[in-house]
Amino acid sequence: MAGNLDDMFSNKNTCNWFKAIIALIITKQGLEKYSNPSWKNTRAELWATNHWEIAKCYLPPDGYTDVASVQGTDFNGVINILLNCTHFDTCFSFSNALSSPYPECILTQVRQIGRDVRHTSSCQVADSDLKNIILKLKSLLIDPVSLANDPNASSAINTLRKLKNNTQFITSDELLEHLKDAQQILVKVNDQSERVSKEVDTVLLKIDTHMKQCLQHIEVRENEARERISKEGKEVLAHIESRRLASAKMITEKENEVKQKALQTEKQHGKYTRRLRK
């Protein structure tokens, strides 16, 4: 059910928006090798024992206080760390300075892409825009200084390629997580907006439907796995019992064979002894 994302929403541009959301998540996973201070997010007393508390100094000031790891941080947060922490100035082939006279770097461009996708009120992305989004994200992941040979980045590029070609690349479990992410984004959009967008409301209903379908599919798959394990377990137990019985039979036959040979030996010995007496 998770193979063709184009079948999930009736509006193609809405499908493109959902693909863009997934593309941002995929790219963030490809950057998870990396982990002016934002004191609001961090707890200085934990710096000596938790390196992530130091990284949180470079996150945006709002919404990241309870984030406990890079995996739990969204795309915008990871990109902000790469932009704000001078440690990463030498990790890319381009200058990531935030001020003039430098032109806007790729990190700044992809951060703006993330903002545009997340803050949309229409939940729509045109084909040409989706193509440009994926192209820009891939250009970041193939940067020659640190990412070109990184396995996480390479895996993300491969997944982006599959997303672009709409080939099957996602499991029901992964789709469910992406739907949850999209749902959270749209709930925030509605909370921050003065009016509830009909488009957002419609997409939320669709997402809720697909989440229920994913859960049903996962439950069916789990039940099938349990039945298969139970069946295979019974087959294994039956095989073990069969082997046990066969072994017991073989041991009994060997014991009988040994007894027969012992009796024959005893009889032959008795005959020999009687001959000697004569």
The pLDDT tens digits of the residues spanning 46-79 come to 776 777 777 777 887 777 777 777 777 888 888 8
Query: What count of other Cβ atoms lies within 10 Å of the Cβ of residue 238?
Result: 10
pLDDT of residue 100: 45
Q: Does residue 111 have a pLDDT over 80?
A: yes
> How far is the C-alpha of 85 from the C-alpha of 88, rounded, in Å?
6
The rounded Cα 83 to chain-centroid distance in angstroms is 25
Residues 134 and 164: beta-carbon distance below 8 Å: yes
Residue 78: CB atoms within 10 Å: 26
Peptide bond before residue 101 is cis, with ω within 30 degrees of 0: yes
- Distance separating alpha carbons of residues 11 and 123, to the nearest angstrom: 10
Please tell me the predicted confidence (pLDDT) of residue 34.
47
Residue tagged 């907006």 (tokens): 193
Short-list 107, 93, 24, 9, CA closest to 58:
107
Kindly tell me if the per-residue pLDDT of 191 is higher than 70.
no
Q: How far, CA to CA in Å, does 210 sit from each of 180, 207, 244, 276?
A: 10, 5, 50, 97
Q: Could you tell me the two tokens for 179?
A: 């739907």
- To the question of pTM greater than 0.85 for the whole model, the response is no
The vertex-20 CA angle with 113 and 171, nearest 5°, equals 145
- Give the mean pLDDT of 65-94: 82
Q: At what angle do helices 151-165 and 12-30 cross, to 10 degrees?
A: 170
Mean pLDDT of the chain: 76
Phi-psi region of 270 (alpha: psi -120 to 50; beta: other; left: phi over 0): alpha
Reported as a single tens digit per residue, the pLDDT across 228-269 is: 887 777 777 788 878 888 888 888 888 888 778 777 776 776
The secondary structure element, H or E, covering residue 106 is helix 106-118
Q: How far apart are CA 179 and CA 185, in angstroms?
A: 10
Rounded-to-integer distance, Cα 240 and Cα 248, Å: 12
List pLDDT tens digits, range 23-43: 887 787 777 554 455 556 677
Burial of 74 (0-12, 13-18, 19+ CB in 10 A): buried
